[in-house]
A and B are shown apart, each in its own frame.
Chain A
Amino acid sequence: DIQMTQSPSTLSASVGDRVTITCRASQNIRSLLAWYQQKPGKAPKLLISGASRLESGVPSRFSGSGSGTEFTLTIGSLQPDDFATYYCQQYNHFKTFGQGTKVEIK
């Protein structure tokens, strides 16, 4: 099974900060990685697929990079609507999610 490890688990930041979340896969998943944003009581929202492909309607301050086993999600300038929990997910072999990173107000 492929394990996905996100860091940090919690991140405290201010509006306007540049934020980076890391996701590591236990084996090579090529670029078959997605990032999601989830707010309380809601289903996750797909932000990025293929490690770096921004989904339609997602603000350009979100970007993804990486391949193989190391991936990052970057929020270029944190906005009030971005305080949420973020998950990575591999879909190279079945599907596995990371444990999540909560972005909270500093």
Chain B
Amino acid sequence: EVQLVESGGGLVQPGGSLRLSCAASGFTFSGSWMSWVRQTPGKGLEWVANIKKDGSEKYYVDSVKGRFTISRDNAKNSLYLQMDSLRADDTAVYYCARDGDGYVYWGQGTLVTVSS
């Protein structure tokens, strides 16, 4: 059974940092592109970033470029999202998902709240 379990969300002040993790199991993690997707009540679903199987290519939505960094550790079957210089509009539920023709597999999501 495929499982994606996010962790690391919480309350952080504007300008602060947070690191999200996603533990993967039930499939060949090293053979899969992976994504982070976020959801806010106001803006709906938004793709944030994705990363190639071996970590050699990374892509970001314009609004997080220079602030967020996606990475992975294939030995640990884990995906990460380092979020720096956080802003109020980064408040969202963050999901990790396995890339493909659409996202078949999603985690349960972790809530990030940016507020003073």
A97 touches B101 (CB 8 A): no
Please classify how large the interface on chain B is, using the bins under 10, 10 to 19, 20 to 34, 35 or more.
20 to 34
Interfacial residues of chain B within 2-48, with CB under 8 A of chain A in the complex: 35, 37, 44-47
A-B contacts, CB under 8 A, total: 50
A50 CB contacts on chain B under 8 angstroms: 101
A46 touches B103 (CB 8 A): yes
Please classify how large the interface on chain A is, using the bins under 10, 10 to 19, 20 to 34, 35 or more.
20 to 34
B61 touches A99 (CB 8 A): no
Which of B65-73, B78-86, B104-112 contacts its partner?
Answer: B104-112
Which residues of B does A touch, CB under 8 Å?
35, 37, 44-47, 50, 59, 61-62, 95, 100-104, 106-109
* 10 A–B contacts from the bound complex (CB under 8 Å): A36-B102, A43-B107, A46-B103, A48-B102, A49-B100, A49-B102, A89-B45, A94-B50, A95-B37, A100-B44
